[in-house]
């Protein structure tokens, strides 16, 4: 079956593979490696049989990452002054 993998969407995009259902696990598929490559297993929710579902999941991943980066940026900006240098916090008086 053709699957769309979103596991590495932030670094490689949505990957397309031919895969088979893994034995004994309905939420897992296996992609058999060719010439010297290893088998690769993917678990739900990181693979889909529909491109539309894969794109929807990729958007959720992207939105979560953007939110995380915005939070990190706000934290960084709170510890730096306007010139971009870290504030000096004198705690020697304690």
Q: What pLDDT, in 10s, does the model give residues 44-56?
A: 999 999 999 999 9
**Residue 61: per-residue pLDDT:** 97
**Region for residue 57 given its phi and psi (left: phi exceeds 0; alpha: psi -120 to 50; beta: otherwise):** alpha
Is 84 a domain residue?
no
pLDDT at residue 80 is higher than 80: no
Is 87 a domain residue?
no
Q: What pLDDT, in 10s, does the model give residues 83-94?
A: 656 666 777 866
Is 89 a domain residue?
no
Is 94 a domain residue?
no
Note the pTM of the prediction, 2 decimals: 0.76
- The mean of the pLDDT values for the chain is 88
Tokens of 53: 């579902």
Question: Do the beta carbons of residue 39 and residue 81 sit within 8 Å?
Answer: no
- Whether the bond between 9 and the residue before it is cis, its omega within 30 degrees of 0, is no
Is 24 a domain residue?
yes
Structural domain harbouring 47: 2-78
Count of domains for the chain? 1
In percent, the amount of the chain with pLDDT more than 70 equals: 86
Is 83 a domain residue?
no
């Amino acid at each position: 079956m053709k699957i769309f993998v979103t596991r590495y969407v932030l670094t490689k995009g949505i990957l397309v593979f031919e895969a088979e259902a893994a034995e004994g696990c309905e939420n897992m598929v296996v992609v058999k490696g060719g010439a010297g490559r290893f088998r690769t297993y993917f678990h739900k929710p990181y693979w889909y049989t529909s491109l539309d579902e894969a794109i929807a999941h990729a958007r959720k991943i992207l939105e979560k990452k953007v939110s995380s980066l915005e939070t990190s940026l706000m934290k960084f900006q709170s510890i730096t002054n306007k010139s971009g240098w870290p504030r000096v916090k004198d705690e020697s008086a304690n």
